[in-house]
Structure 1
Amino acid sequence: MSRKVPPLNPLRVFECVARQGSFTRAAAELFVSQSAVSRQIATLEEYLGIKLFIREQGGVFLTDAGEAYHREVGPAFAAIASATERLQKTSLSSPLRIQVYTTFAAKWLIKRLNRFQQEHPEIPVRIATSVAPINFAKSDADAAIQLCEEGSYEGQGERLFYDEIEPVCSPGLIREGAPLSKPEDIFKYPLLQSHYRKTDFGDWCKYMGIEFPEDKEITEFPSSLLAYQGAIDNMGIAMGQTRMLQDEFKSGILIRPFDKPLTRSLAYFLIYPEGRLISPKMRIFREWLIHEIEEDTP
């Protein structure tokens, strides 16, 4: 047999009026008009067939029946409020798990993450790195930051910024070698690339209207991080992701000899599981992340 429960919104309004002892104060707490409060109380009284309040010149007072009803209903609402508060605190205090590419984590996210932890010490963040596309069915991650084409990811995504690339090298490399006065001069130097970014040099050369020599060898590294370090150590010219190398450009350990970046259709996306509600802590992290990107945009 189903339980006999009155309409919940009028019941909530009743609890608020009884606790506040005033239709006006209840309306302010609930962010509604006083007439809306009156209508909800009338609805509840009609449903119950009992008068719950008496309005007098000095204010509004509970009837004996209303007083008895509130003694039992009031604690139930207090318990609901306490349970909700505890649940939200538990949700916020549990770690926020984000899967990201290693290069993005090392060259962009980690150096900014301390600011997030200072602003939101109640939200611990756990970073996992992977170049593989996120599989939320097999991962406990709340979200992922992934480099890919629009719509090629699992779940729902939000673009953070496009992939922008151009040749980078150390000042010492060209100081001691051939000048880099035109794009094809890069072929006079060893070229360095990541195993996962094998089309970068070809894409940039096509963008610049030059042909990449078929016999030109490229030194391959397991990651972009190592390719960039090789460029810093005068090993050759790397194809750099400009958003990842702002600190190196500012310090002068890497330079952009041409300053002709290629913006590709690839982009970094913040990706969420399809159909899963975004948690409050994830919304907080997302807002912080967007703000950091806006502050970082040249």
Structure 2
Amino acid sequence: MAKIIPPLNPLRVFEAVARLGSFTKGADELHVSQSAVSRQISLLEDYLQVRLFHREQRGISLTEAGRAYQQEIGPAFARIVAATQNLLTQSRGGPLRVRAYTTFAAKWLMRRLPAFQQAYPEIDVQLSTDVTPADFSSDALDLAIQFGDGGWPGVHCDPLFDDCITPVCSPALLDRPGMPLRCVDDLKHHRLLHSRYRKEDWPYWLAAVGQPALAAHPDNMVFSSSILTYQAAVDGLGVAIGQVRLLDHELDSGTLVCPLPRVVRKGLAYYLLRPQRDAMPRKVAVFRDWLLDQTRHTRA
């Protein structure tokens, strides 16, 4: 005896509408019109010779038969989705392994990864942090985000964004009694915050704005990382030199402000590196295209 299988597209539409409780929401999830959803449900009801929904003035509701049918096929569709995602992950060579600098990962990439995972749930991103140069011949990596001049031999490099620096501080420092911060010369009254790995930023910026002598500032505080330096600025300990494009969240929220108008480009940039291969794996291509699109919208 032949197995009775209803037309699968109407069945898929029924599962979405029954789960979401709305023709409109089902249409949105499936990216079709509400009238198309209604036609598919009618096709399924005609095939089964069973009424699956009550059409009411305030919306729809499952009939008793429809509810029983949904309870049977809903888990089946969930298993199909899970099995498909597992198969895609395995067939595409496992997780996507990405390495980035800690500051870039914490202040920029981590805030955007949830959106990527929502858009591409089948790609499992494994993120690690390190400042050592990536060696694709020995490191278990698909992609690396590094900082420099783009001169890495034997790899493909996509520029992400330039290194743009400017002083940043808590808004509470702007009008501190007796110690305002409104021009470069006012910096002599404020503590300068430094990151150990970017100790030349203050001298570079001060030279660019014509005040190199202020680099000999007597009141300094040095931190072991840029992340700690930025947090110290948020907490009002002094004025830091900020990588503007890594601080868009703090600047948009107002926890940090740029007290002085000059942004200086240092000539270096963040790059996305990948090994030279004949073909780019799909997971790499998808992440690369998404990352480049994200950087186009990053604060200039």
Which whole-Å deviations, capped at 9, do the CAs of 1:245-279 have from their partners, x for residues lacking one? 11111221111011211112110000012346421
Give the equivalent residue in structure 2 for 1:191: 192
The structure whose Rg is larger is 1
Give the equivalent residue in structure 2 for 1:42: none
Give the equivalent residue in structure 2 for 1:271: 273
TM-score of the superposition, structure 1-length normalised? 0.67
Change (3 A) 1:200 1:91: farther
Which whole-Å deviations, capped at 9, do the CAs of 1:197-223 have from their partners, x for residues lacking one? 011001111110111346424311111
Query: How far apart, in 1, do the equivalents of 2:214 and 2:89 lie?
Result: 59
Amino acid at match of 1:285: F
Give the equivalent residue in structure 1 for 2:294: 292
Which whole-Å deviations, capped at 9, do the CAs of 1:40-88 have from their partners, x for residues lacking one? xxxxxxxxxxxxxxxxxxxxxxxxxxxxxxxxxxxxxxxxxxxxxx997
TM-score of the superposition, structure 2-length normalised? 0.66
Query: How far apart, in 2, do the equivalents of 1:181 and 1:89 lie?
Result: 54
Once the two structures are TM-superposed, the CA of residue 233 in structure 1 deviates from its matched residue by 0.8
Whether 1:159 aligns to 2:185 is: no
After TM superposition, list the pairs within 5 Å mapping 1:48-59 onto structure 2.
Answer: none
**Count of residues in correspondence between the two structures:** 213
Identical columns (%): 39
SS at structure 2 position matched to 1:175? coil
Change (3 A) 1:198 1:279: same
Whether 1:220 aligns to 2:222 is: yes
SS at structure 1 position matched to 2:242? strand
Gaps of 5+ in 2: 1-85
Query: How far apart, in 2, do the equivalents of 1:189 and 1:249 lie?
Result: 20
After TM superposition, list the pairs within 5 Å mapping 1:127-276 onto structure 2.
Answer: 127-152=127-152, 155-177=155-177, 178-213=179-214, 215-217=216-218, 218-275=220-277
Query: How far apart, in 2, do the equivalents of 1:109 and 1:212 lie?
Result: 36
Query: How far apart, in 1, do the equivalents of 2:112 and 2:232 lie?
Result: 24
Runs of 4+ in 1 over 4 A off after TM superposition: 86-89
> Conserved in 2, the CA contact under 8 Å of 1:134 and 1:154?
no
Give the equivalent residue in structure 2 for 1:283: 285
Gaps of 5+ in 1: 1-85
Once the two structures are TM-superposed, the CA of residue 285 in structure 1 deviates from its matched residue by 0.4
Once the two structures are TM-superposed, the CA of residue 138 in structure 1 deviates from its matched residue by 2.9
Query: How far apart, in 2, do the equivalents of 1:244 and 1:203 lie?
Result: 19
Query: How far apart, in 2, do the equivalents of 1:187 and 1:241 lie?
Result: 21
Name the Cα RMSD after superposition: 2.1
Query: How far apart, in 2, do the equivalents of 1:248 and 1:87 lie?
Result: 40
